[in-house]
Chain A
Amino acid sequence: MTAEHPMIRLTGVAKRFTKGKETISIFDHLDLGIPRGDFIAVMGPSGSGKTTLLNLLGGIDRADAGEIAVADQRIDGLSEGELATWRAANIGFIFQFYNLMPMLTAAQNVELPLLLTRLNRKERAERVHTALSVVGLADRTKHRPREMSGGQQQRVAIARAIVSDPNLLLCDEPTGDLDRQSADEILSILQLLNGELGKTIVMVTHDPAAANYAKRVLHLDKGRFVERELAA
């Protein structure tokens, strides 16, 4: 947790969207540092730019101004192709609606990021098995998404996000579609990934109970952060 080498550093980031003639400014001059190994919950009103922030951090959207560095690498200057390669190596995404491929089995879904690596079939199968074991689904490898509950699907999605061993997990309302018990299971897994495996996690949520699992909560409002330490 070194302040000089944070996991994420945003400096003067601006982001605007143009809809027709109207331009809305989401961030004007956003600064943010997140240390390695942190588990951050980002909260804030709907439309405050939480998803946009994750998209910028994950390199799937571009800022209009400012610098974005992840693990000491500037990503704001990378080309589309370079960004894709960078994402494959560094980022695990977890979405509210899981975004699994419905026609693939759990194992096939989890294997997808490994197709971008040099691993051979056997190595990929081992990694897939490990990742599914971490989320407690080693016995569901052949199941397709529609044969699983929402909580199980999200666990498959988490396995997919960690299978290529990225350092940063970006979760957009990962429990937004789940009942309390499933949500708690998912959040416990995230906590374990953070605590045991040292993954840095940025999780957007509107659920205070979910935010409680994080180490810190950042409140995003009108393009600014308001930080509060949680009582552990």
Chain B
Amino acid sequence: MRSLWLQVAAVTAINLKSIGQRRWLSLSTVIAIALVVIVLLAFLAMANGFQRTIAGSGADDIAIVLRAGSQAEINSTVSRDQVRLIEDGPGIARGSDGKPLISPELYLVVDGIKRSTKTKANLPLRGIGEQGTTLRKDIAITAGRMFNRGSNEVVVGKALLREFEGFDVGSTVSFGASRWNVVGVFEAGGSVFESEIWADLNVVQSLFNRNNVVQTVRARLTGPAALNELKSYSDNEPRLKLDVKSEAAYFAEQASQTSDLIQKLGWPLAIAMALGAVAGALNTMYSSVAARATEIATLRAIGFGGFPAFVGTLAESLLLAVIGGLLGAAATYLIFDGVTASTLGGNFTQVVFDFKLSPWLIAEGVALALIVGLIGGLFPAVRAARLPIVEGLYAR
């Protein structure tokens, strides 16, 4: 047993030390595997960044109320009467003045010009109630001030400001027939709200002629457990045909469709490339076995078994794969991690998010690389183990 271990260790060491003699072919395999990992990780980091941005902005003790069956805010309508019924519903937290902590909100799409491409894109304009900012986490004004209630002023999310033209504090913007003054910039803990424009609900309602409806109602619950109370109240009240969800669940739903789609694009592409990399690895490793035929046969003649030759060859292939995988992960990290992208969110508006690698994603990338190395090394390793000694000795 000890002898077998010594044999395997010695043959593996000999094998790995000889990689330098095949450096260009080996390098080409490393690069092919690295490219596979870069493509995979770029997509996964994109999906991950998107998911985290959106899902991360949701809380458990905030309820989102939409019309039943409307998947996204944009499809929803909630009437003034319904808002009143929700205000009186169970589980809704109240402020020190006894008023319910809710924010009816109107969500509209307006035009903006993208800085990078100078093309038009849809931007979300949100009219928020008095409690709009307190019902969200980590809202802070970073420049200028908050809009005044009752005036045609807006504040813009900092991600939106970064990506779109004309929203600097002090400027005036036109949405359809209405004109608005940009008075401030806000951040929202990196959440999706940073890609929105906010104004006073009443002003938005009147300037867009939507006086009696909102699209959602956001409410602070007395606790996460109160969600079910509010749900059953809504289900049992005929005048309320509404869906009640926690903000976290709502955002996770919104994000999962898009991030699933990104992953579904990324994996097949990466796997197709991986097949190419397997072909390259096979070629490299068969060449390696051929180049080492005399060495392998000499060791066998001395009395070494075939198994060490198998392990050594596989180890070489896996080493190239690990190097390729780590190189690919490092390259993805340097090129993409933290890079900002924007894409259509669930509400058909621009969501700004960062590519985000995680240790788990890197592990997935390296695992794919190892699979490439394993398949690419397995068959050549079998050949190495079975190489007839006489053939190998005179294979120079």
Residues of A within 8 A of B (CB): 51, 55, 58, 60-61, 80-81, 84-89, 93, 95, 97, 99, 101-104, 112-113, 115-118, 160
Contacts and interface: CB of A to CB of B under 8 A. Distances in A.
Contact of A95 (B3, B298, B304, B389): B298
Question: 10 tightest CB-CB pairs across the interface, nearest first?
Answer: A88-B303, A103-B17, A99-B298, A115-B6, A60-B389, A87-B303, A61-B390, A116-B303, A84-B303, A113-B302
Interface of B: 2-3, 6-7, 10, 14, 17-18, 20-21, 294-295, 298-306, 389-390, 393-394, 396
B91 to A, nearest CB: 73
Contacts of B298: 93, 95, 99, 101
B302 A87 contact: yes
Contacts of A87: 301-303
B302 A116 contact: yes
Nearest to B299: A112
Contacts of A112: 10, 299, 302, 304
B300 A84 contact: yes
Nearest to A157: B298
B294 A117 contact: no
A101 B11 CA distance: 10
A93 B301 contact: yes
Contact of A103 (B3, B18, B302, B304): B18
A89 B18 CA distance: 28
A85 B17 contact: no
B301 A115 contact: no
17 contacts: A51-B394, A60-B390, A87-B301, A88-B303, A95-B298, A103-B14, A103-B18, A103-B20, A104-B14, A112-B299, A113-B302, A115-B3, A115-B7, A116-B3, A116-B302, A118-B2, A118-B3
A87 B305 CA distance: 11
A113 B301 contact: no
Given A61-B389, A160-B302, 7 more contacts: A58-B301, A84-B304, A93-B302, A99-B295, A99-B298, A112-B302, A116-B302
A61 B270 CA distance: 46
A89 B295 CA distance: 20
Contact of A97 (B2, B14, B390, B396): B396
Contacts of B304: 84, 112, 115-116
B303 A99 contact: no
Given A58-B301, A84-B304, A112-B10, A101 B295 contact: yes
Contacts of A97: 396
Nearest to A114: B6
A103 B316 CA distance: 15
A95 B393 contact: yes
A89 B14 CA distance: 22
Contact of B301 (A60, A80, A85, A104): A60
Contacts of B10: 112, 115
A102 B10 CA distance: 14
Contacts of B14: 101, 103-104
Given A61-B389, A99-B294, A81 B305 contact: yes
A104 B302 CA distance: 16
Contacts of B20: 103
Contacts of A103: 14, 17-18, 20
Nearest to A100: B298
A192 to B, nearest CB: 22
